[in-house]
Amino acid sequence: MSSNTAVGASSASFEAFKTFIVVIIFGMAAIYMMTPVLIPIIISFTLYALFEPATIYLVRHNINHSLSILIVLVLLVFFSFIAIGFALPQLIEQASLLQAKLPQILSKLEVFVSDYSQQISELVGAEFNASDIIMSTLSESSSLAQSLLLNLSNKLLNIIIFMLLVPFLTYYLLKDFRSVRNRLMNWLPNSSFELGWIIYRRVSSQLLAYTRGVMMQSMIMATVSAIGFSLIGLDIPVLLGALTGLLNLVPYVGPVISILLSLLVASAMTPFDPSLLYLSVLVIITAQIVDNVIVIPSLIANAVNLHPVEVIVGIIIIGTAFGTVGVILAIPALATAKIIFSNLYTDYDNAATKMSFKQSANA
């Protein structure tokens, strides 16, 4: 009996793995075909996840479904214009200030790196000139940034079209997503229909919870960081806070980049105050403590169940394949893959167990 169980488990693992690979191939092919409009689709699905509960709330209070969606989208546009009108002038002003300070920041960085590379050279007894390496890297990055800005300006029309697509896609997702989903699920064969719905329910509930949690997490991080930078007197606090919130979407690497940015801005302030270096790092650390102690347990902990090693490996692989978008989508993609494989394995394992019991009963 135990040998039959072992064989059944091995067979279940193999069958689940085969089906899982097929699902992944189809998923990758679908993403590849959607690449030209992938960003508007991601934004639209994010807005769908955020505003579907409001739409359902209005429908339950006897408001027409289409009218409920229009009310939600009109309120979204209204509050977006208010937020943009309030924040955009400050962000533009602070971005201009950052641009003016950039030569000074780079000069301070070069002096700092030169001093430390000299100390390292004396310590190891060998020449170590990190300044040339870092400054050449910054030069290449600057050239890359200029070419990127030129590319973006050349594709400005496409960007505007993409942004115009977002409200329309969001409207039709809120309006027709469930009916389209039901038609797609009806394509499943009868033997896989129940399993398909189980996987969908678990994946959708997890992704919705994760998306809502991450959006709230970024807003909280941006707010806490901006307030902290303002309190310590750091330049461009709103811009740095917004960047900190956005960079928090990139696991592990994002907070490190946020610290480096705040240190560069603090080092370029005149008169130079060394305490700002420590205080700016303290602000990021405080924001991370708030994030890890309060935000993540409340909003995100139950959404994904991944080991840090799985996250790091997934970010490297998916980020290499899909770039920055892949880095941001790595965690939900890994969580989805984990749910699919575990449910496939459970289904095949249950089928193998039933078969072994039948064979034992007939023996």
Q: Block means of pLDDT (10 residues each) for the chain, length 363 residues?
A: 52 77 83 78 85 88 88 82 69 66 66 64 58 52 47 56 77 87 86 84 84 86 91 84 84 80 77 81 89 76 70 78 76 84 81 67 59
Q: Is residue 166 part of a domain?
A: yes
Q: Which of 251, 193, 197, 262 is nearest to 225 (CA)?
A: 262
pTM (predicted TM-score)? 0.69
Q: Is residue 197 part of a domain?
A: no
How many whole angstroms separate alpha carbon 120 and alpha carbon 313?
32
Task: Report how many domains make up the chain.
Answer: 1
Q: Is residue 53 part of a domain?
A: yes
The amino acid at residue 43 is I
- The H or E element that residue 67 is part of is helix 65-124
Contact 240, 102 (CB under 8 A): no
Enter the DSSP assignment of 298. I
- The per-residue pLDDT for 135 is 52
Burial (CB < 10 A; 0-12, 13-18, 19+), residue 103, is: exposed
Chain-centre distance for alpha carbon 45: 13
Q: Is residue 320 part of a domain?
A: no
How many whole angstroms separate alpha carbon 261 and alpha carbon 281?
10
Burial (CB < 10 A; 0-12, 13-18, 19+), residue 236, is: buried
- The per-residue pLDDT for 141 is 46
- The per-residue pLDDT for 145 is 45
Q: Which of 267, 261, 228 is nearest to 246 (CA)?
A: 261
Q: Is residue 131 part of a domain?
A: yes
Q: Is residue 49 part of a domain?
A: yes
Q: Is residue 28 part of a domain?
A: no
- The per-residue pLDDT for 227 is 92
Give the domain extent around 116.
38-187
Contact 342, 350 (CB under 8 A): no
Q: Is residue 81 part of a domain?
A: yes
How many whole angstroms separate alpha carbon 190 and alpha carbon 29?
25
